[in-house]
């Protein structure tokens, strides 16, 4: 296990509260000094099951609680850290950069699909249906 993977896994397990305040869900750098990777991933899997169980109970009690978001975020972070420690490929979603000249715009509705001509009230028109040729 190289230090880059350990650092990446620890980044998933660290939550920024403000610019200077960080909260670690689990400090795996400290755990990896005394234990091997399999033991740490086993511990993280146990933490994951505990968080999932707590989330299920919280949803049954109060679906509007803000703690649901915290549990869901912690579950996601623990799962990502486990994947990094197990050596699985983690796909990072990248957003394309937006340039100023490529701003979003609203497209006009394309009305070319309807080829039938409509009868319109026009004082200069002889009030005749153009398709059938009959007077209205």
pTM for the whole structure:
0.63
Q: Within 10 A of 106 (CB to CB), how many other CB atoms are there?
A: 5
Say how far residue 15 (Cα) sits from the centre of its chain.
17
Give the model confidence (pLDDT) of 41-90 as tens digits: 999 999 999 999 999 999 999 999 999 999 999 999 999 999 999 887 66
Residue extents of the structural domains in the chain = 3-85
- Report yes or no: 10 and 29 within 8 Å, Cβ to Cβ: yes
Q: Is residue 12 classed exposed, middle or buried when 0-12, 13-18 and 19+ CB atoms within 10 A define those classes? A: buried
Average pLDDT, the chain: 80
Say how far residue 78 (Cα) sits from the centre of its chain.
16
């Amino acid at each position: 296990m190289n230090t880059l993977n350990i650092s990446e896994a620890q980044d998933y397990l660290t939550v920024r509260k403000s610019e200077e305040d960080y909260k670690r869900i689990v400090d795996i750098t400290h755990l990896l000094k005394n234990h091997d990777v399999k033991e740490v991933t086993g511990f993280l899997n146990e933490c994951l099951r505990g968080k999932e169980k707590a989330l299920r109970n919280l949803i049954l009690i109060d679906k509007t609680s803000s703690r649901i978001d915290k549990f869901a975020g912690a579950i996601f972070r623990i799962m990502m850290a486990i994947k990094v420690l197990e050596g699985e490929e983690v796909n990072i979603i990248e957003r394309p950069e937006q340039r100023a000249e490529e701003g979003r715009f609203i497209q006009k509705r394309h009305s070319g699909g309807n080829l039938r001509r409509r009868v319109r009230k026009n004082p200069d028109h002889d009030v005749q249906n153009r398709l059938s040729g009959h007077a209205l």
